Structure 1
């Protein structure tokens, strides 16, 4: 049997009288890439926000498990297992690319030495070494997006959510 990275049963979410998600079921095996496609307003971002603990699902939603953790019972364990690159950049344009990476390392409670090692490795991997010492605001849009994704990987997450990764 394949282990499941993401399981959601009957995912529901409404904002007032507007139903955004109405009984969505997901079963995503570990080690796979899964894309959720749909038109604007279909609820894709809302689903990502729920699965990444940023928004609560409505009552009546069945169980949600992320990385083997029950989202309702242990959201902190879910947060420890995931990385999220949102629809809008989390890059701080006032600091350098390297400083953005080191900030993420601090947020993940990495030691100073480990944080520097991980930041350097990811900056190299994403071809951002030259941009690392410049204010992020001076980087191109593509470089900022690569930096945003690299920042998501700092904590070595088992599951990664990318909301609108091509923006």
Structure 2
């Protein structure tokens, strides 16, 4: 199962993550086998865009009211003061404006094309390898481009809270190029 999740391009990154102790190989396999989502279909779609390294996770039902479409959440590590999750967004899925309290948020683009925006600034494109730090207490949103699956890592301090706000203006999002 692990080989289905890890693409050839992502093996060295996963090896580093495994070596760093952020997640075990058994943890990756367990997350994939327990997922309530069509992991193979999503993985194939993302691999078609380049690669996927981390498990897709489960349908993000706990937060679906704050997303415009389907998203999937794969917690990879928590405790020791930090939380690390892979978030997978279906094409056209973004989250609402929100603010994180008690932590900044680091986003690391993994696959596909996405967007993020900090309140008062222009939207910025996210691609694999792009890293963004959203300061604590700053209003922002992020998610997939209208025509692309998108994955990013989300890294925050344990115990951080999220204040969910209004949806992103749909017309402004659809106008992004």
TM-score, reference length from structure 1: 0.27
Q: Give the greater-gyration-radius structure (CA).
A: 1
Quick check: which one's helix share is greater?
1
Quick check: which one's strand share is greater?
2
TM-score, reference length from structure 2: 0.26
